[in-house]
Amino acid sequence: MIFNSFEFVIFLPIVFLIYWSLSRADLKAQNVFLLIASYFFYGWWDWRFLSLIAFSTLVDFIIGKEIHRAEKPATRKLFLWISLGVNLGLLGFFKYYNFFADSLREGLLGLGIEMNTWTLEIILPVGISFYTFQTLSYSIDIYYRKLTPTNDFVSFATFVAFFPQLVAGPIERASNLLPQFFSRRDFSFKNAIQGTNLIVYGFFKKVVIADRLAIYVNSVFSNPADQNSITIALGVIFFSFQIYCDFSGYSLIARGVAKLLGFELMVNFRRPYLSQTVPEFWRRWHISLSTWFRDYVYIPLGGNRVSIPRYYANLMIVFLVSGLWHGANWTFIIWGALHGIFQVIYLIYKEKVPDQGDPGLIRRILNIVFVYALVCFAWIFFRASSVGDSFLMIEKLISFDLSINMAQLFAYEGPVNFLLSVLTIGLLFATYLLPEDLDFKRVSQSLMFNVAILLLILTLGINGETEFIYFQF
């Protein structure tokens, strides 16, 4: 089930009404109902994958208690490795088996060795990368004694499968979300209004901006050989806003639905394209994932408390793993490597060039444009179907073929839709004038906001149940 589907339009009000009608019963009844609703939501795609999430939940629930109970460091570490092995093993099998098998065969073929490798017809379970990292953080935090395991299996299972953020995040930590299942939740009109604001704005980003931009983006990236510098540049720029609005729109809807149910999820995006440095971009983009890698990969590797070469190596490892997390394709690995290289170059530059204080408005704007250009360059590899297509697009981009063929420029969606695509990007920047978290204090302001955005959705939105981009990860 996806948020922008007819089924969800029916599902959410039913869940909302039953959930709050149970608030007069007890907390356990609410949690049990949320667990059933979450499993129904996830099973709507393919009920067979419910066994995976249930198995992962059971393993980490038991392992968490065993890690906490064990007194010997070796025993505690053994149980942690079991958790890592089970979770990463499932993730690796379903997401990366064919990729590594094909890469091994091609690598050996390059050495003149022919080898038959078995590939499997495996369907990638939706959201497996997200809930795997969520359950892993629970076991790791218990291992480092940052968290005490729960004895309430229902609450833990609901934390893992919580349907608003199950399939595309934010990747919540147990320390933030799990305690909320043990606290009494009373209906709040203020929370309902704020949650509605987030949902409506999330749909605006998805169906008005992202889905409209996708028409042009898909046409450019599916046929790079017939493009010139201008159409490729526009395709990459449009994709940068498509993926941002698509993913941040999902996160807003997730936060809004959670708020309707009395829960607070973390903010996952903070206007990343206003970043003045690449490290700042990663403090603003997919925050739940970047902080996860920081806490569970980067810091355990030593972080910046090591020699300079090792420090740079740690950064590269983190971004290479991040690229691989996004997908079983060399394009994602190159994308991650590029961001790692950007980070290292920035650190070297910062070390060589002294801080000159406030850069001023013009310098800040130039910094933003420069960082945005770097991010867009990396997006080419992220979006392209293959490494070959990526380099072909870069080759055409730097050929500076600036001939403007209006028929080619508008052929993919017509002049009206093309201009509407540009307009929607302008509307996005207009919304930057709004409070960042849309935390309105007056109900009247919220209602006016909702009405205005709803009108835009009805008049400019793209019809159809288009999946969110990050569902494939």
Catalytic residue among 68, 286, 326, 339: 326
**Which single residue is written with the structure tokens 């910094």?**
367
Please, which residues have CB within 8 angstroms of residue 261's CB and are 6 or more apart in sequence?
15, 16, 19, 34, 164, 185
CA atoms within 13 A on the CB side of 60: 29
Cα–Cα distance measured from residue 377 to residue 373, given in angstroms and rounded to the nearest whole number: 6
Task: Give percent helix, percent strand, percent coil of the chain, each to the nearest 5.
Answer: 75, 0, 25
Instruction: Tell me whether residue 326 is one of the annotated catalytic residues.
Output: yes
**Burial of 110 by CB count in 10 Å (0-12 exposed, 13-18 middle, 19+ buried)?**
exposed
Instruction: List own/partner pairs for 311-317 with CB under 8 A and 24 or more apart.
Output: 311/347, 312/344, 312/347, 315/340, 315/343, 315/344, 315/347, 316/340, 316/341, 316/344
Nearest CA to 274 out of 390, 407, 433, 82 is that of 433
Burial class of residue 357 in the structure, from the number of CB atoms within 10 Å of its CB (0-12 exposed, 13-18 middle, 19+ buried) = exposed
Cα Rg, the chain, nearest whole Å? 23
DSSP assignment of 426-461 equals: HHHHHHTTS-TT---S-HHHHHHHHHHHHHHHHHHP
Torsion over CA: 323, 324, 325, 328 (sign):
positive
Q: Write out the catalytic residue numbers.
A: 326
